[in-house]
Amino acid sequence: MTRRTVYLYDRGDYEQMRMEITEEWKVNVMSLGRTEEKWKQLKEKLKEIESLYVPVKHINENKLPKKYDAPIDQHTKEEVKKKNRCWQRYIETRDPEKYQAYTRQRNKVRKLTRKAQKDCEREIARESKANPKKFWRYVKNKLKTSTGIADLKINTDGETEFARTDHDKAKALSEFFAEVFTREPEDHSATILVHNNNAPMIPELVINAEEVRKQLYNLKIDKSPGPDSIHPRILKELRDELCDVLADLYNTSLREGRLPQEWKTANRWSEENLLPFHPDKCKHLKISSSRRVPRDTKYHLLKQNGTMTDIGEVDCEKDLGIVTDRHLTFEKHIQAKVNTANKIMGMIRRTFTALDNPTFRCLFKTMVRPHLEYAQSVWSPYRKKDVITIENVLRRASKLVPGLKDLTYPERLQVLGLPTMAYRRIRGDMIEVFKILNGHYDSEVNLHLEKNTGSTRGNSHKLFKERCRTKGRQMFFRLRIVDVWNSLPDDVIGAGSVLSFEKRLDKYWQNQGIKFNFDEKLVTTPGHYASLSIDENDLDIEA
């Protein structure tokens, strides 16, 4: 059984650590000439005080994790002690009255522990967006299945070894992946293109201690350390003592034009640094609305050795998290996302005992719904079966809340205060249009939406709708959003920020039937909308 040492940074004596960072030590480090020397002294000091003032514990790698127990208050602990005393009295006397006293105390304790469990789950649900690690730690502990990397078999010079610890596994995988990278010749350097010789020169960059202190303060202490093995909790706690030393280290590095050698271990260069296309990883996908077998066309790639190789053809390909098929139906992508959402919903059902209305809302909105909405502007479904497939995730999940199983789907959504997935997609499209028209994206890659200058009715930012023939083309983003966007009044589209636009849009569409019934259509007739009165506080909301 292998043992692993874990540092308990939440129990570290940071007051003593601060006392170890003396002014004399800081002056000695800052007086060193080279960047490498300063970094070496800084790292050695931090590792030294870490070993002195941060307690450790030893974990058995193959031992099952301890069962997650909800935290209980002092009153509950006292009631547990009373229950134990009642049991001891009954064991000593075997008196039926003592047993009745024990059962009353046992039931009281069980009621308190169940309440503590429900409160703990509600807190995890509330913090799931800001701290998803807490959610996954709780779920992983509750599930009986174990996940991880199995022991790795390594062949070294004909001898077989096994990597069993996390450190050995990471080292073995790192060495294996390093073998596939191209060795960069010593005389090779990336070519820097200068587009404008008359461009103004960048002034000398000087990093001050206050800037470093702010960056250290914003470190997330629940993240893992980098290749230097310095935990972010130590850097954040010692920010006032280390900001001067780190600022001097950065400025020295800028003057020398060099980085400490250890900082380069996490860097991987791209194509211009001799990482060419791998022929076996290149594929081509033919996009066509025709159901006939496409014409057999061959594509080739020139290898580094001068030979030609065929590029394989695929029916679908995943890029940036989206599975694209040749007919642009995105059916496989939708099915994959629905499967992922159902798996997470199943884990929630098996691990959370108090799945009441607020808890369900927080967990579904944070852990499930994002999988069904990621990049939906690209793959938004228009076929009825795909719309129903996505909607069924929320339909089944809403039945898990106690007291809602016998209600209809629209009634359950009204009680939960959750709109349909179809409504969310239309709402998301409008938010994307607002961002595009108001310059929230890079203008070099932004989608150009042509405005309709020939119509004087409607809002002042009406869009021009192109003519198209096929249903698939009609449901492309730049075409399907035109009618809905043109129906919005100036009071909505004239919002000063994204958050203000979302609030105005929700208020304007609050009476839409599609909000709780996905079978209905979005009504674009002004008479069906709710009256919109703009709150003065909405005018200056920052997204």
Distances (CA, A) of 336 to 141, 286, 320, 327, 342: 26, 21, 14, 17, 10
**pLDDT score at 182:** 55
Q: Give the chain's residues under pLDDT 70.
A: 1-2, 61-69, 145-148, 179-203, 264-279, 290-296, 302-304, 444-446, 455-456, 526-543
Q: What angle do CA 410, 412, 413 make, to 5 degrees?
A: 65
Distance of alpha carbon 448 from alpha carbon 56, whole angstroms:
57
Q: Which of 258, 421, 235 is nearest to 341 (CA)?
A: 421
Provide the 8-state DSSP code for 524. Answer: -
How far apart CA 251 and CA 79 sit, in angstroms, is: 60
pLDDT at 266: 45
Structure tokens of 506? 């929700």
Q: With H, G, I as helix, E, B as strand and everything else as coil, classify residue 148.
A: coil
The pLDDT score that the predictor gives to residue 464 is: 84
Predicted local distance difference test score (pLDDT) of residue 310 = 81
Q: DSSP letter for 32, please.
A: -
pLDDT at 223: 81
CA distance 125 to 370: 15
* Digit-coded pLDDT (tens) for 100-113: 999 999 999 999 99
Q: Which residue has the tokens 């004087």?
A: 456
Nearest Cα neighbor of 350 from 65, 72, 140, 47 is: 140
How far apart are the C-alpha atoms of 341 and 335, rounded to whole Å?
A: 10
Domain residue extents for the chain:
74-136, 279-314, 331-418, 422-540
Q: Tell me, what's the pLDDT at 220?
A: 86
- What distance, in Å, lies between the first and last C-alpha atoms of the chain? 52
SS3 284: strand
Q: Is the pTM of this model over 0.75?
A: no
HEC sequence for 46-102: HHHHHHHHCCEEEEECCCCCCCCCCCCCHHHHHHHHHHHHHHHHHHHHCCHHHHHHH
